[in-house]
Amino acid sequence: METVRLTMAQALVQFLDQQYIELDGQEYKFVNNMFGVFGHGCVVGVGQALNQGGHHIRFLQGKNEQNMALAAMAFAKQKNRLEIIPCVSSIGPGAMNMVTAAGCATANRIPLLLLPGDTFACRQPDPVLQQAEFFTSFGQTVTDAFRGVCHYFDRIERPEQLMTAAIHALRVLTDPADTGAVCLAMPQDVEGEAYDYPVSFLRKRVWHLDRRVPTQSQTERAAEIIRNAEKPLVICGGGVRYSFAGDALQDFCETTGIPFSETQAGKSVLPWTHPLNLGGIGVTGGQAANVIGKDADVIIAVGTRLTDFTTCSKWLFKENAKVVSINICPFDAVKMDGEPIICDAKEGLIALSKALKGYHYQHGDAVKAARDEWNAIVDKWYGKNDQPGLSQTRALGIINEFMQARDIAVGSAGSLPGDMQRLFRPGDRDTYHMEYGFSNMGYETNGALGVKLACPDREVYTFFGDGTYLMAHSELVTCLQEHLRVHFCLFDNSGWGCIENLQNNQGNDTFGTVFRFRNPASGELDGPMMPLDFAASAAGYGLKAYSIHTEEELKAALEDALTQEKPVIYDIKVLPGSMTPGYESWWRVGVAEVSTQPRVQAAYGNLMEHVKDTRKF
């Protein structure tokens, strides 16, 4: 057997450089870049391997481990899971910083390869700097925290273990039904240890993403349920996008006449102008989809996890409404007592279209009327303010109308995802990029980097609040370093406006959700508002920054930004509380069962009334 002597880290880099994925006859190189924040535990291991050369992987310098991992996740999502950016870190806190990103990737079913450094496998220098010791086991290290948030975890304690660990890591990363975060923890001594690796392990390897077709019996069962439906409705989820099933969905809906609604991940798969598109559904959905959904008797869920935001905590759909679930993942396909059609979304839709030949749902004017009424509501929210100052929805509308068809919108947390699923009108396919499985504050600011790396020839606009900026904005500097013009749209409403709104709606007074100075007299956080200048903060990094208080200033800034050759930030001072409300929806949250506050007591009573009307599973 032909072998080559390499360190474990050198073999890892060469292995990753030779990974490819194939879909529908086209090959994609799976790894072209690697993020890293160097420290002890990786700089003389993987860092040395990258620096030595002999590969085609470009190194990207992260500024914070969590944030670079979120950028890597966004990159893989925008690439429809056909390419990843592995993330390498030091031991201890550097490794721990990536745990949140791992949870985010796993929740969203996005492939993310994490390569944290670890303490010495030989244990001879223990305890080392940044090592937490666990008294019940010498073998336990802080990287065990990744076990709870990854789909695959391994610790490489001998250099030859890399071979099985790497193969299984790629197995999960390229599996559409089982993908998520993968962690290969790397003890720092093992990174530098050598082994005679088989050359065959380091040769080009192609992972085939073969489409799984539905069985004839599955197709017949689903078709029979749909034929007997009186008011069917399709939900388009992220799985439609990842399987490139947009055309198949459009053909299915046009052939059968069944209208469709969108989850956050499914939005922009088909045009918002399509006559059968009812828009966003669920808690952050719009009136059209929720009104039609409430009356539906068959739900055709395509590539969706059926989360609480999509189903309004199982309140939106009738108890006897049947669910037909077309999903590659069996775990998702049986949710809400669904009839599981376990297959690729594209293949499932094509098969169902053929099986339903001759069937056409006659919905009369209901879909058009619902769409027309909802579009008029959106126009009103996007229109001029009826009060002094700039509202959040008006600012969003100005940016949405300014963006070109191929420009990409990014979002994740706060009140903006609700406004965007309800109001945003994407220009083209795959131009709406929302992380809403984890609602991870900081994804927007850092994920924008990943989206821009995935689509360097397109403008990327990312929408987030002041709370997110304060929490995580390190990769703005990386955008500057890489000469990437990203549009950072910061909506400053002086606090966590989304959570304040939730707080108030459940009978609670505003408490701890607005950015105010502590009042020396009362000892509480009820002093004056904190006047934070985010434009000055970003300008200090070197971004082009705009301070915006009016429509005219925003429009001028958007025009000027296109003349810049570096990232820009719009510090938009919006009116607090100027987000959209819910439409025919409900979200179940934990409300105090006993309280001395009458409004909280009323909120709990409202909760119990809604619980009565929810499906049990």
- Measured CA to CA, the distance from residue 438 to residue 446 in angstroms comes to 15
| Residue 561 forms part of a structural domain | yes
Angle between helices 287-295 and 366-382 (to 10 degrees): 150
* Co-location of 185 and 292 in the same domain: no
Confidence of residue 471 (pLDDT cuts 50, 70, 90): very high
- Looking at the domain assignment, is residue 28 inside a domain? yes
Question: SS3 for 559?
Answer: helix
Contact between residue 238 and residue 302 where contact means Cβ atoms under 8 Å apart: no
The chain-wide mean pLDDT, for the chain, equals 96
Q: Does one domain contain both 162 and 243?
A: no
Phi, psi of 305 (to 5 degrees): -85, -5
pLDDT number for residue 63:
97
- pLDDT tens digit sequence for 146-160: 999 999 999 999 999
Measuring CA to CA, which residue among 469, 492, 493 is closest to residue 543?
A: 469
pTM value surpassing 0.75: yes
pLDDT of residue 364: 85
d(CA 225, CA 337): 14
Asked if pLDDT for residue 71 goes beyond 80, the answer is yes
209: helix, strand or coil: coil
302 lies in the same domain as 318: yes
pLDDT value, residue 190: 98
Percent of the chain past pLDDT 90, that is, above it, reads: 97
Residue 395 lies in a domain: yes
Is residue 487 located within the same domain as residue 564?
A: yes
- Same domain? For 255 and 387 the reply is no
> Domain ends where: 208, 230, 264?
208
Structural domain boundaries, residue 21: 3-208
Give a yes or no: residue 517 inside a domain. no
At 574 the pLDDT is: 96
146 and 51 together in one domain: yes
Q: Give the distance from CA 241 to its chain's centroid.
A: 13
Residue 428 corresponds to which amino acid? D
Within a domain: residue 589? no
Q: What is the pLDDT of residue 411?
A: 98
Residue 363 pLDDT grade (very low, low, confident, very high; cuts 50, 70, 90): confident
Per residue in 85-114, pLDDT (tens digit) is 999 999 999 999 999 999 999 999 999 999
Is residue 425 a part of any domain in this protein?
A: yes
CATH number of the domain where residue 333 is located: 3.40.50.1220
In this structure, the answer to whether residues 53 and 195 fall within a common structural domain is: yes
Answer positive or negative: Cα dihedral of 145, 147, 148, 150: positive
Residue that terminates a domain, selected from 157, 180, 208: 208
Together in a domain, 223 and 196: no
Provide the domain count of the chain: 3
pLDDT score recorded for residue 616: 85
262 falls within a domain = yes
Residue 588 within a domain: no
The CATH number covering residue 116 comes to: 3.40.50.970
Do 192 and 72 have their domain in common? Answer: yes
Mean per-residue pLDDT, 381-392: 88
pLDDT tens track for 535-566 = 999 999 999 999 999 999 999 999 999 999 99
Residue 391 has pLDDT above 90, yes or no: yes
Q: Which pLDDT tens digit goes with each residue over 185-221?
A: 999 999 999 999 999 999 999 999 999 999 999 999 9
DSSP class per residue in 247-306: HHHHHHHHHH---EEE-TTTTTSS-TTSTTEEEE-STT--HHHHHHHHH-SEEEEES---
pLDDT at 387: 78
Taking a C-beta distance cutoff of 8 angstroms, is the pair 293, 261 a contact?
yes
∠ CA 323-329-330 to the nearest 5 degrees?
A: 65
Whether residue 396 is predicted with pLDDT greater than 90 in this model: the reply is yes
Q: Which of 159, 190, 208 is the last residue of a domain?
A: 208
Confidence bin at 385 (pLDDT 50/70/90):
confident
User: What pLDDT was estimated at residue 482?
Assistant: 98
Res. 410 pLDDT band, cuts 50 70 90: very high
225 and 204 co-located in one domain: no
Q: Please indicate, yes or no, whether residues 226 and 204 belong to a single structural domain of this protein.
A: no
Q: Do residues 13 and 142 both lie within one domain?
A: yes
What pLDDT does 617 receive?
84
